[in-house]
Structure 1
Amino acid sequence: MAAKRKREENSTTLTNESKQEGEGGTLFVSNLPYTATSVDLQTLFSDIAPVRSAFVVLDKETGKSKGVGYVSFAIREDAKLAIEHIEKNGFVLDKRNLRVEYADRKSDANDSLTPSKPKHPRQPLNRSKISDPLAIRTVSVSGLPVGIDSKVLWKKFRKCNGAEKILQWPLKTESDEEDKTRAEILFSTPATAQEAISHLHAHIFKGSLMSLVLKKRLDTLVKSGNAPSKASRLIVRNLPWNTTEDDLRRLFLPHGPIYSITIPVSPPREEGEQPRAKGFGFVWMLNKQDAEKAIGNTDGTTLGPKNGDSNAKGKERIIAVDWALSKEKWNAEKPKIEEVDGSEGGSDEGEEDNSHDTGSDDDDEGSSESHNSNSEDEGDGELSNRDESDASHDKPQLPAPETGNTLFIRNLPFTATEDELRILFRTFGSLRYARITLDPATGRSRGTGFVCFWNKEDADKVIEKADLLKMETNGDQTAAPEKKNPFKLASILTPDPSSSLAQSLVLHGRTLDITRAVTREEAGRLREEGEKARQKQDKRNLYLMREGVIFPNTPAADTLTPIEVEKRVNSFNTRRQLVRSNPSLYISKTRLSVRQIPSFATERTLKRLALYAIRVFEDEVKNGTREGLSADELKEDEDIKKLKRKKGERPTAVRQAKIVRILEKVDPITGKGRSKGYGFLEMISHQDALRVIRWANNNPTVEPLMRDWWQEELKDILKKEEDVESKSEEQQTKINRIKNRLAELKEEGLKKSQRTLIIEFSIENIQVVRRRGERETTIRREPKAEDVRSEKDLETRPTKKRRVSVTESTIEQKAAAKPINSVGSIIECKFECTTARASFNQLKMSNAFQERRIVIIGGGIIGCTTAYYLTRHPGFSKTDIHITLLEASTIAAGASGKAGGLVAKWAYPRELSLISFSEHERLANLHDGANRWGWRKVACGQWEGRTREKITDDDSKKSLHGRVQAHNLDLPTDLDWIDEGLTHAYEPMASFGDTAQVHPYDFTKSMIALAQTSAPERVEVIQGAKAMSIEKKQLLDNEAERVTGVVYAISDSHTVHIPADVVILAAGPWSPELHRGLPVTAIRAHSIVIEPSAMISPHVLFTSIRDDSGDESTPEIYPRPHNRVYACGPGDEEPLPELAANVKISPDAISKLRKLVGDISRPLREGKVEIEQACYLPLGGPIIGSVENVQGLVIATGHTCWGICNAPATGKAVADLVVGGSLGKTWKLAKLEPRHFMGS
């Protein structure tokens, strides 16, 4: 062994000496300006040292500079001095930084150390390719359809700017055959040729995907041979079996020109059998830059079957794209990868993560691995003249990791090689092998490796030195403290590579981290202990992020469609990014997020599912069919120990079951809003939450169970309704609906659903949770006030005269003694009540001002109806009150002019909708609303169906199946404009007469016009005035403030201040900009107005359309007078613009909406779209009332999509509050006051 090592060291010495001889006095200079000459080069370097010669390399064909050159010095030391000078100070010539390195020495035929390569005969240059003067403006086209001629080809390209002629078509191949899929087109200039490439590359021409590239570029890339460099070849793995070359061409062509595509196939096993693809392919791009771009954009994408291939549905695959290796390199690397992958494992003994894996992507934190390779060290035992017979000898048995001969190495540079690793550790003793672990997916280093010594004593010397390094860097950590310091973090310091102690363990400037390798079992145990220790330290519970997630290539993923897998992975990535972006977020240990809940499920059903999952989970654990919770997971949490049940409280595992609902769409059976398909489960303990998520997540048996439970609930409701002796018409209608619903559930139970529950641990905000806890504590401590009782309590509580306190009685008597005066109740008043929640009826009136000014911010429907009702209030004085309405854009520029205009008694909230519906009727009768703003009664129902698979010319003919289905579903006869064959269910939402509609833009404009007509000199409307701030003044006798005015801008540089005694904030989603703390958010909604091809009946539809993939969309359709149809779709969270006039539409959202409504209705599909628009809806309310401690500020905003419907009631209530001084007994708006939504 010693002799062998000596021969290798001598060989290394000779190699190094020969390398030094090559580094003579000649330097290679690159990045030269193309205008530089040989004289410039010699003059420039002569300032450093005497130059023997210098010249710039010229192109043989053009005679111009190639941007490189050579400088030869008299002695080697001068060349070395020049390189050091340039590396230190840089060298600039014509604003270009020169790059300098030693010139490569040409091979010497007499060199005995390096054998000369056999000389190949010189290949004759293809002058046509290299010196073609037209190549710079010639476009090479490939991928043309086969069945075209030159006329069709020229017709396609003559439209391009600068196209002159077809230079050559078809092109001839190397075998002198014609290739009709390729052509060359000549353009007038290189610029026009490049413009054509940018427009037509990857363009589909008669079903074929064309590829365009400049002929000059093509000739340059292949000038060294008949093909471009193999460095731009890519390998595509995990291809679907039916993938064709055209599929790969469509995927990769947008990223650059393609030279060739190859999909290997296996030979047929039997005669007559079709060859089968091997599941991978090769894509050869023209240059490496395009190949790099293709990897970044296509790796990890999904490649599936072609459209319409029903047999291949669900066979999509996520492909992996990487650089292709030559067959020789792959065969050389494959055994190494298999050896490393088959023997990795291990962990070091520390509880902390003491790995200094700087730059390494090794996933095994705090762990090392054993490398049970069966190959010997290639450097120590390999001779160049080894006989082939040696391969037949049995390889020696490697020592087990317990012997201590094998070491695990971290912090390896990614550029390090196994030879370098072997040379570094050879100084400690004889090596069996040295291996670097490779990532199986990429074939690249993972930053870790193994070395195995023949003698344990040599390995001990390495460990001893590594321990000394750690002690020098981190101090002596052998004596651990009795109690762990929670504020102490693991050290990330690494030993100084320049220190004398670390020099023998430094590779490429990195100090290696070395530990003993252990067995795979021990590595797993230590890894598990490390994970548990990190989980205990993880205060945000981020380790629960992966719980319930189904990743690709897992057994559970085989039971799902690729779309479902992608949905779950995307959710995981989104949640992970969300938690990373906000340190206030954490993963709850007891609250579960449940998605893809069936639309029929209720809170009772969801709670029942949780209890059932806990019970069945434990039964399966006892039967041995499921793995139970680990011992660490079964430890009872400290919070659960402290939790005490209240006296008489029934023990349960579920604290809360909640389903998020659409309050605007009420289910006529349950009286609750329609489910949005997701909800939450709050469990008492973390252990029960784990049981629920592990049993119910992606369990196909869950939906049938929930359907059976929902049927039981319906039967209970049906029994209660039928037990009533005298049934009203409404009760009988409800009974019929329940029976129909039961029949539908029975039919649906025969169909197998492909959608399963997605259950994850919920993300919580620590600040929101704390505020919620403080609010609950306050509510428990404080007595309940009369004005915050629930609506149910107010309706069921018997009328009883309330005892009036002395203070309140005195205030009311004083207020009644004075005459009713406009706005006086909220201007210049003193707080005489004992609480801080002083409402307007508790404030004293005063006549401090001759004229009182009311400013309304917002020219939408709320602001305009408020102005209308102010001018018509009995207390309004046309001499004392002045109303100013400020609108940043124009009247009804936002949602008030672009909404559907639905008016309903059953709308949300009922406190407003019932009064508002009556006011709508009164206003229409009083001001001819049928003609002025399109008031009319309409029918309204919920429609469920599916999208159309294919549109044919016979869609207008009603099929027998469609007529029978419509009859069975009791589809109204006036809905003849809906495709009955696509209908799954229909249900009326209310009796006729309980729903109406208006044209929102006309109604809003009419309201402000009527207000100005009633008081022409007292109502002023200023459009284009954006309110910037509400001015306030501190009151002297208390902590409250008083409104003094509003500042608005009429341009970027000009602002105006107007005084105000009362400010009514009705700016919709822009309201929080003027009063901080308002919990009003914005959502953008798109809508279209269609002129249908046939008459449409006045029947409003809330639709639920499900496509083939199971995704549900819920557009709403509102027929209008004069045969127009308004349709709106779901919203998105695009940021709110500064003005309503600046709202932008999404073409994709409009296109999707047109397709959805067109799929279910032929008149809408064939109709003309007149308007495409978008607006922002204010969410979070409605919020109506005065602001605590800000005298004179009234809020009226957040009405969601029911702004048009509830505007009259809101305007009337605000008028009573502002002018009348209080809300009458008819108003029950206490729970809508701002104090319930904000802090102050």
Structure 2
Amino acid sequence: MEQTSKWKTTILPSKSNINNEDKIKFSKTAVRKRSRDFAHRQCRIIVRNLPYKVTSKKLQEEFEKCGTIEDINILKRSDGKLVGCAFLQYEKKDQSYKAVTNMNGMIFMGRKLEVCYALPKETYKKMKTETEIKTKETKLDHDEAIETDIKEKIKEDEEYVQDITEKSKELGGIHINEYIKPLKSDRQNKHTEIEEGRTVFLKNVSYDANEDDIKDALVHFGTVEKILINKERVSGHSKGTAFVIFKLKESADMCKKQSLKVQVNNQFIEIVDALKKKEVRDIESRRSEKSGKDSRNLYLLKEGLIMAGSEAAKNVSKTDMAQRLRLEQRCAQMLKNLNRFVSRERLTVHNLPESCTSSSLRTIVQQHTGMNPQECRVMRENNSSFGNPSGKSRGYGFLSFKKHEVALDVLRKLNNNPLVFGKNNRPIVAFSIEDRKIQNIKEQRLLKSRLNNPTYQEKLKKINAKRQERLQIKKQQKKMASEQLAIMPNATLSIQKPRRNENKISKKERKRSILKNIEEFTGEISRQGKIGIRSNRKINTQADAHMERLKAEKKDARKKRVKQEHERNRQLKAARRIKPRPANSAELQRENQYFQETVGKYKEIINQAIVKNKRSKWYKG
């Protein structure tokens, strides 16, 4: 090896050729390098629990707030996927300290970051081996404790069975399985996650989010056992809420504290305590008691809705479904005004043909439902046109009835019925939206007109007289019943009780009788209670789902048509083929005679004309 005056070069001197002065210089440079490396390592940090969609630019933008970054190294696997960990190198120690203190525990792209100083490989491996040994020891202790608990339980069960056998002998040989059944039921794992406080309820979850997306966002709080996304019963689309079950209660508590700070698919989530069904019902009942009844009747908006994945939407055309969703959006805009409400006795009928008049609509209602509406109007334009002196129809009308039950029955029989106007143009029936101010004005006008009308005053007198007569008859019946009770109490009670029960009909039987007439094309059924208006996002997802279904139905129809055409062609080919006649001797003789009479005479002439003279081998023509 050659000696060099400059020690910064790669060629180093051998030990034999180094002088004392050179040794001192070499030791000083080595110490300087080591000190520089040590200071450089102190400025190096590690960032854990990074999202898998992170890039070096986003990391640099976020961590440059603490200081200038020299190098970024995002760790990857052999297949190219991210590990969720990265190394960052700062220029100065103050900058790295600032990053560790400020950025640790910060939520970045929907995940909680873990920032600390990077350790060398040797120290990290030692730390890892020590932790693995400790975990193994704790696992062994835990397994021993579980084994002892199991042995104690088995002993208790054996003692319990012995006591049962002794008791059964005393009582006369009762079967032991009758006593062991409750023991087995106690052993079964009961769902007590809500009582233990390990479950969490998520709100404002994006409709495109999967279980994996939610798990990636909440893993840093603790181990997640199960995720349940709430979905609609018919269509299967998510409702925007979900339940998350953690392994420990502390992780659930930590998750609740980070409400409206965690993101799933770039959307912040609200995290709340999970409640049981009974508790939710109690809360809803209390709210309804405080707020009172639903004076706007918003629950009736659900009546007649046709969901994209339901059986009612099977043969609905694209135009009809688009018009339904458009009307639903319009109703939601109209109901933003708090003075407007949903009527219980009045209906709107859309998708009417141009030739439909108010009289023809009345006849259609009578034919398909058997009910006669009080009001039946087809709305028309004010200006007359050619062929329409009363004005062109706007494609919708109104129907009103005396009772809500009658209007509901008419809606369920007419809505989406393919027999009324055809399969491609089905009637869209719903409860109409009314304005309270306009309704009050109409009622005041009616009262004024009735007070000025003398015939109506005479009717009121007759109605009041009939009411008084009914009240007197009821009072007399009560007196007769009390007198009979005083004379014969047991006999009268035995007679009266069955009469009362015979006339009464239970609520369940009434509901069943109403629901018997419902068919598949009618749509959804409304139930009383607070039901929110659907958002535009849900309506758009319904439209997309219906379009996908229509495409699939068209493909199936084409396949069926092709199959039918192939079958027809096969049948035609089979019919065109000449079937072989049965070989009867009489028929064959007749055919031979006919051939000899017609063609046999000219057979020799034809053969002579066909035969040609043979040519010699010298012929060149």
Q: Confirm or deny a common fold (TM above 0.5).
A: no
Whichever of the two has the greater Rg, that structure is: 2
The structure carrying a bigger strand percent of its residues is: 1
Q: Which protein, 1 or 2, shows the higher relative CO under an 8 Å CA cutoff with sep ≥ 6?
A: 2
Q: Which is helix-richer, 1 or 2? A: 2
Q: TM-score, normalised by structure 2?
A: 0.38
